[in-house]
Homo-oligomer: A and B are copies of this chain.
Amino acid sequence: MQLPPLSSGVWGVVATPFSGSTLDVDETSLARLVEHYEQVNVTGLTVLGVFGEAAQLSTEERSAVLETVVDAVELPLVVGITSLGTAPAIEEVRHAKDIVGDRLAGAMVQVNSPNPDVLAKHLRAVHEATGAPIVVQDYPLVSGVAISAESLVRAVRDLEFVVGVKAEAPPTPVSVAALTAALDVPVFGGLGGLGLLDELAAGAAGAMTGFSFPEGLVACVDAWKEGGYDRAREVYTGYLPLVNFEQQAKVALAIRKECLRQRGLIMESSARPPAASMPEALREQLVRHLAAVPVPEVVR
């Protein structure tokens, strides 16, 4: 029996704010950030993803992040799983489930093999050991694994516990089209919203990404549902200069956190090394972009 799929719309990929020279997890900022997400009507949140710097957090810190989010908002949660190996992935899912409980809309597991049988077995093992619904993330830049859309379909199509796919293998609109044509579960775009219009046109159920103005993503997806391309384009175009600025190789995380800080959503914008810090040469332009973004209502 197919588990209920992820709801369509925007799933905000939550940054993990740090504070001070010791870069401790800043739970106050984190709570404020996810409350903002709730206010702008995202469908759900994705916590401990790549842009949540999960690979930089200890188990205890991951607990703190999950607890803070669970306490701060009522939204359904997808929890990112960092490990590519089956046994440690199971350990991570169990840990998340202990904290998130019924709020766990899905454990997001990365593609760990180009071989559909190996991948299917991995996903099944994680599900069977934990009972968790599984979201499959195809993000070759991070996983180091390149799978064809055809193989991904073969791996996933008979897995009744897979509740969504996050498609981040460029060209993503092509991937989204192939996946949505062959799968019953929703497929989400990522990559900061760079190709959101095209992913929606290809059948995407929404976006799952960490763009610093989730309002823009929500407005775009809503507009698409109501008015198709023309309406979505009208709504989203004003965000694209910032989207493109933010989704830059190597410095995307630093830019994004600084945007969140300047919006007042987090207190400090530091990322944990070895992540790059905000390039000073881009600071003025960041301010310009933020000033020009079409925010419908002022956010506290």
Interface-located stretch among A31-39, A54-62, A101-109, A211-219: A54-62
Interface-located stretch among A42-50, A69-77, A259-267, A281-289: A281-289
In contact, B56 and A272 (Cβ under 8 angstroms): no
Most buried by B among A57, A144, A274: A274
Would A86 and B272 be within 8 Å (CB), given that A201-B284, A241-B237 are in contact? yes
Number of copies: 4
- Name the CB-closest residue of B to A197: B241
The answer for the CA separation of A288 and B230 in the assembled complex, in Å, is: 8
Interface string of A49-91 (1 = CB under 8 A from B): 0000101111111000000000000000000000111111011
Q: Which residues of B contact A273 (CB under 8 A)?
A: 86, 113, 118, 121-122
The 8 Å CB contact of A281, one of B202, B238, B245, is B202
Interface size on A, residues (CB 8 A): 62
Interface of A is mostly: helix
> Can you sample 7 A-B contacts with CB below 8 Å?
A85-B272, A171-B249, A173-B248, A197-B241, A237-B238, A237-B240, A240-B244
Q: Which residues of A contact B (CB under 8 A)?
A: 53, 55-61, 83-88, 90-91, 112-113, 115, 118-119, 121-122, 144-145, 170-174, 177-178, 194-195, 197-198, 201-202, 229-230, 233, 236-238, 240-241, 244-245, 248-251, 272-274, 279, 281-282, 284-285, 288, 292
